[in-house]
Amino acid sequence: MPHWLYLVVNLAYHLGLALWIGGSVTLGALVAPALFKALPKEQAGAIFGPTLRRFSRLRIFAIALIIAGAAAKYLRWERHASNPWLALRWAAIAFLAAVVVYEVRYLEPALDSRIDFAKLHHRAEVLMKTALVVAIVALFFS
- Provide the residue-wise pLDDT of the chain in tens; the chain has 142 residues: 779 999 999 999 999 999 999 999 999 999 999 999 999 988 988 898 899 999 999 999 999 999 999 999 999 998 888 889 999 999 999 999 999 999 999 988 888 887 777 888 888 899 999 999 999 999 999 8
C-beta neighbour count of 26 within 10 angstroms: 12
How far is the C-alpha of 40 from the C-alpha of 46, rounded, in Å? 10
Residues belonging to the chain: 142
Pair 69, 9: CB distance under 8 Å: yes
* DSSP category for residue 51: H
Give pLDDT, residue 118.
Answer: 82
* DSSP category for residue 83: -
How far is the C-alpha of 42 from the C-alpha of 45, rounded, in Å? 5
Give pLDDT, residue 8.
Answer: 96
